[in-house]
Amino acid sequence: MVLNENQKMIRDMTRDFARSRLAPIAAAIDESGEFPEATVKEMGELGLLGLTVPPEDGGTHMDTVSYALVVEELGKVCASHGLTVCAHNSLGCWPIWKYGTPEQKERWLKPACQGEFLLSFGLTEAEAGSDAGGTQTTAVRDGDEWVLNGTKQWITNSHYAGALIITAVTKPDVSPGEGISAFIVPTDTPGFTVEKKEDKLGMRASDTAPLVLDDVRLPADALLGEEGAGFRYFLETLDGGRISIAALALGIAEGAFAVARDYAKTRIQFRKPIAKQQAVGFMLADMSTQIDAARLMIHESCRLEDAHEPFGDMSAKAKLFASEMAMKVTYDAIQILGGYGFCREYPVERMYRDAKLCTIGEGTSEIQRMVIARNVLTD
């Protein structure tokens, strides 16, 4: 896909930022698990926290290709920063922009786009992971208020969010597709608790934690969109979120490939660089081919979304292919580096750990195959 000048500009700006500001700290924050507040704030100043929001609501409203390019460039260097941007933009900002009232947009979108706080999305529960319709968090109307009770798991950005979009059952006696609603929950609401940050395999500097809602009282206008439409809202949100994770996986793979290629060109064995050995050369060829194929699928998903055409099927395919491709490419990068690849002196072991989340978040690979199979069989 040929990029236009605006797309090249945002790509290059993000690339320069990632190389100058994120590369020097990526290994350290992976080791410590510390959330990078300073550089996240800088991303807000650069406009990277309002990519999907129109200017009148405080954002930069770039096309979906530009958004994917931003995530890709961040992912090449530090996937923790990339995931923070993904969750904030596609899971936090987008639903409020799409379904929120003018008052909700004024209160939450403008400051979030400027980096005053992050936004987040609370869907997953112990009994509602892949089966998102199994939501057990409840919201009961009490006069002019809603009272929410329940727990959520694996919620990104939760300690640094000003508000979260929380899904809860408001109509328990109907089908899951009709009984779930979405609410904007300010994080300083009494009864709302963010618990200890998870100690994760990868993307360790990204903030992930469980939530508890204990008689959380919200005004009636905290409802996002229509009552009972929450199931449809989060399915639509996840369609876009899958483009985000696909782009993040692409970036991780590209970062690992670049390290492996450069190492193979300088590592001498049997009196020549190992890149000249057919076994390694073929590995690099396969890695490059898979990366390019993933990019084409991602950009096609972006093109469909920007054209307001159905894109859910292609985003599921892109997410499935890109995430599993990233696992293979990072695995092969470690293999090319040998012992060095297994040690933290080089970043490929971190990239391998980071890539795994891409096969889980925004729907596991198995769920993507279910979505794709359903679309194939209903054509």
72, 73, 324, 362: the active-site residue: 362
DSSP state of 152: E
Q: Whole-angstrom Cα distance, residue 292 to residue 194? A: 40
> Are β-strands 118-122 and 161-169 bridged in parallel, bridged antiparallel, or unpaired?
parallel
> Are β-strands 118-122 and 192-194 bridged in parallel, bridged antiparallel, or unpaired?
unpaired
DSSP state of 363: S
Long-range CB contact pairs, 286-291, < 8 A, 24+: 286/332, 287/253, 287/257, 287/260, 287/328, 287/329, 287/332, 287/333, 288/257, 290/253, 290/325, 290/328, 290/329, 291/250, 291/253, 291/254, 291/257, 291/325, 291/329
DSSP state of 144: T
User: Which string of DSSP letters, residue by residue, matches 277-303?
Assistant: SHHHHHHHHHHHHHHHHHHHHHHHHHH
Q: Rounded to a whole number, what is the distance in angstroms from the first to the last CA of the chain?
A: 27
User: E strand or H helix at 183, and its extent?
Assistant: strand 180-186
Torsions phi, psi for 122 (to 5 deg): -110, 95
Q: Known catalytic residue: 198?
A: no
Contact 211, 151 (CB under 8 A): yes
Q: Which residues are catalytic?
A: 362
